[in-house]
């Protein structure tokens, strides 16, 4: 972490331009309809020995959070989820023999709000998943929870169904901030959920926090971080609020004049980093913190940290199959996204068609650049010998012009470059996305407004 605050302010003014978060390379923006209705079965079947990571997207939420930029459907009609679970099961059946008997290494339920599903709905979904795959010896199931929509006993149900990791969206525990973002939740209840999960032996519990929300101050955010530490979360994701009201309609309900901006927002982030470090959390990749006992911190320490469409993971790089509306699969170099609108997704599934709407095949050049970008995002460095061994070319020769583009960052001490490695320095960690952008062949100035800034 960079300590000199004035120094950072100057660097932020210079380098904090909008850029991708690189959960994939190329980014999802490169998807096109050449892959529409692609049958994923053949792709999956091409590597029968490979284990699979399964992602299931649940788009429903009970209430609209004003900061939200996700693909979600706000509803209180539980019947909608019943119909949706039917569609997910049909999607699994469509994949049929290609997944039958394949080892399932991990399962993640994301959203939206996966805990929108009632106990019978989630149990039905899990039974269908279990019947479709065989579990690998190493199997982890994780789920995102909204504390407002569940009772404490829901944690027991998740435990019985085989879940061992939880992620709880907290964002901020201050009442005034919660009012401003329309996400009012009880800290006491969150504490109860975490305690129950720990007593049942859950391996890892993550808290999502957001800085830059309306009405946040150093005082309120310190209390939020203290609460999270006191609840005993193993991991903390600390995200920057990107106010893009033209793109996300819900954000128009946020009072712009209540937002901490510029240096005030930067102070929130730097202070939260410091408070988490003081509480014993280690910085993992970009925006993430974990206790040393957590698998994510250990993966960062050992150099095996990985990154995929769900963010940082300790899981190895394996095929990611995603089901549900708008979900993104990444199988053997091909990226495929399902229909983004629920009505289109239902029409595909009910019509017996593949729900894939867009996608792309990674080209050899994409794989090579993606390798470099992932190394920067996960290890903050590129080992030039490893690169040469993997791709048979010299890093310095192949990327001579990209290295040249980084000369300003090198002069400012944010990047170091020698014969062995290109490294983001301690002082430059905050700007890792900016470094990765130099290796992105698709990036153009006109696209940058589609991305958020670092701070």
* Straight-line distance from the first to the last Cα atom of the chain, in angstroms, rounded to the nearest whole number: 14
Answer yes or no: are the C-beta atoms of 191 and 173 closer than 8 Å. no
> Per CB under 6 A, does 61 bind ligand SF4?
yes
Answer yes or no: are the C-beta atoms of 241 and 214 closer than 8 Å. no
Q: Count of CB atoms within 10 A of residue 118's CB? A: 15
**One of 8, 43, 65, 129 touching ligand SF4 (CB under 6 A):** 65
**One of 2, 18, 70, 253 touching ligand SF4 (CB under 6 A):** 70
> Per CB under 6 A, does 102 bind ligand SF4?
no
> Per CB under 6 A, does 115 bind ligand SF4?
no
> Per CB under 6 A, does 210 bind ligand SF4?
no
One character per residue 121-150, x = contact with ligand SF4 (rule: CB under 6 A): -------------------------x----
Query: With CB under 6 A as the contact rule, which of the stretches 49-57, 105-113, 120-128, 287-295 interacts with ligand SF4?
Result: 105-113
For ligand SF4, which is the closer residue by CB, 149 or 306? 149
**One of 27, 94, 98, 113 touching ligand SF4 (CB under 6 A):** 113
The encoded tokens of residue 372 equal 């470099």
SS (H, E, C) 309-330: CCEEECCCCCEEEEECCCCEEE
Give least dist CB 112 to ligand SF4, A: 5
Query: With CB under 6 A as the contact rule, which of the stretches 15-23, 58-66, 398-406, 439-447 interacts with ligand SF4?
Result: 58-66
Answer yes or no: are the C-beta atoms of 223 and 173 closer than 8 Å. yes
Query: With CB under 6 A as the contact rule, which of the stretches 66-74, 87-95, 297-305, 429-437 interacts with ligand SF4?
Result: 66-74
**One of 68, 143, 325, 422 touching ligand SF4 (CB under 6 A):** 68
For ligand SF4, which is the closer residue by CB, 15 or 239? 239
DSSP string over 71-116? --EE---HHHHHHHHHHHHHHHHHHHHHHTT-EEEEEEEEES-GGG
For ligand SF4, which is the closer residue by CB, 113 or 237? 113
Alpha-carbon gap, residue 30 to 441, rounded angstroms: 11
> Per CB under 6 A, does 213 bind ligand SF4?
no
Answer yes or no: are the C-beta atoms of 71 and 344 closer than 8 Å. no
Q: Could you tell me how many residues of this chain bind ligand SF4 (CB under 6 A)?
A: 11
The encoded tokens of residue 331 equal 């199988």
For ligand SF4, which is the closer residue by CB, 62 or 381? 62
Can you give the length of the chain in residues? 455
- Can you name the residues that pair with 426 across neighbouring β-strands? none
- Could you tell me the CA-to-CA distances from 110 to 72, 143, 235 in Å, in that order? 11, 6, 17
Alpha-carbon gap, residue 137 to 129, rounded angstroms: 16
> Per CB under 6 A, does 72 bind ligand SF4?
yes
For ligand SF4, which is the closer residue by CB, 58 or 372? 58
For ligand SF4, which is the closer residue by CB, 322 or 368? 322
Give least dist CB 152 to ligand SF4, A: 19
The encoded tokens of residue 341 equal 């609108």
As a dihedral over the C-alpha atoms of residue 275, residue 308, residue 27, residue 59, rounded to 10 degrees, the angle is: -90
For ligand SF4, which is the closer residue by CB, 31 or 61? 61
One character per residue 390-429, x = contact with ligand SF4 (rule: CB under 6 A): ----------------------------------------
> Per CB under 6 A, does 260 bind ligand SF4?
no
Half-sphere exposure of 239 (CA within 13 A, CB side): 19
Alpha-carbon gap, residue 25 to 22, rounded angstroms: 6
Q: Count of CB atoms within 10 A of residue 99's CB? A: 22
> Per CB under 6 A, does 253 bind ligand SF4?
no
Query: With CB under 6 A as the contact rule, which of the stretches 2-10, 107-115, 217-225, 434-442 interacts with ligand SF4?
Result: 107-115
> Per CB under 6 A, does 108 bind ligand SF4?
no
DSSP state of 180: H
Residues interacting with ligand SF4, by CB under 6 A? 61, 64-65, 68, 70, 72, 111-113, 146, 169
């Amino acid at each position: 972490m960079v300590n000199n605050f004035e120094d950072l302010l100057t660097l932020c003014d210079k380098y904090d331009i909008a850029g991708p978060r690189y959960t994939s390379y190329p980014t999802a923006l490169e998807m096109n309809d050449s892959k529409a209705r692609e049958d994923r079965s053949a792709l999956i079947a091409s590597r029968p020995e490979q284990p699979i990571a399964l992602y299931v997207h649940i788009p429903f939420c009970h209430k609209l959070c004003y900061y939200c930029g996700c693909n979600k459907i706000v509803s209180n009609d539980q019947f909608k989820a019943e119909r949706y679970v039917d569609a997910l099961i049909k999607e699994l059946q469509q994949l049929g023999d290609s997944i039958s008997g394949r080892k399932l290494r991990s399962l993640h339920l994301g959203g939206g709000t996966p805990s929108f599903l009632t106990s019978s709905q989630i149990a039905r979904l899990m039974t269908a998943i279990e019947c479709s795959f065989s579990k690998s010896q190493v199997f982890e199931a994780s789920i995102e929870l909204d504390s407002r929509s569940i009772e404490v006993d829901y944690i027991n149900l998740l435990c019985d169904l085989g879940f061992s990791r939880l992620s709880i969206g907290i964002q901020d525990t201050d009442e005034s901030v919660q009012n401003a973002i329309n996400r009012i939740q009880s800290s006491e209840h969150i504490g109860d959920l975490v305690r129950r999960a720990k007593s049942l032996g859950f391996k890892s519990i993550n808290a999502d926090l957001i800085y830059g929300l309306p009405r946040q101050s150093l005082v309120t955010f310190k209390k939020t971080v203290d609460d999270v530490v006191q609840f005993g979360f193993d991991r903390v994701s600390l995200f920057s609020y990107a106010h893009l009201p033209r793109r996300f309609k819900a954000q128009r309900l946020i009072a712009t004049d209540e937002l901490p901006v510029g240096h005030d927002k930067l102070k929130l982030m730097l202070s939260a980093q410091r408070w988490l470090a003081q509480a014993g959390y280690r910085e993992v990749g970009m925006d993430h913190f974990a206790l040393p006992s957590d698998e994510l911190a250990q993966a960062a320490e050992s150099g095996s940290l990985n990154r995929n469409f769900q963010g940082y993971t300790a899981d190895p790089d394996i095929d990611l199959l995603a089901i549900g509306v708008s979900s993104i699969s990444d199988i053997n170099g091909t990226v495929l996204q399902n229909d983004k609108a629920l009505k289109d997704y239902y029409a595909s599934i009910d019509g017996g068609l593949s729900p894939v709407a867009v996608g792309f095949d990674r080209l050899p050049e994409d794989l090579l650049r993606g390798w470099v970008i992932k190394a920067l995002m996960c290890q903050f460095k590129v080992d030039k010998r490893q690169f040469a061994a993997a791709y048979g070319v010299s890093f310095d020769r192949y990327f001579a012009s990209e290295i040249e583009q980084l000369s300003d960052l090198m002069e400012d001490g944010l990047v170091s470059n020698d014969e062995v490695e290109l490294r983001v320095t301690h002082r430059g960690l905050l700007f890792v996305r900016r470094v990765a952008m130099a290796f992105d062949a698709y990036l153009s100035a006109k696209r940058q407004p589609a991305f958020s800034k670092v701070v």
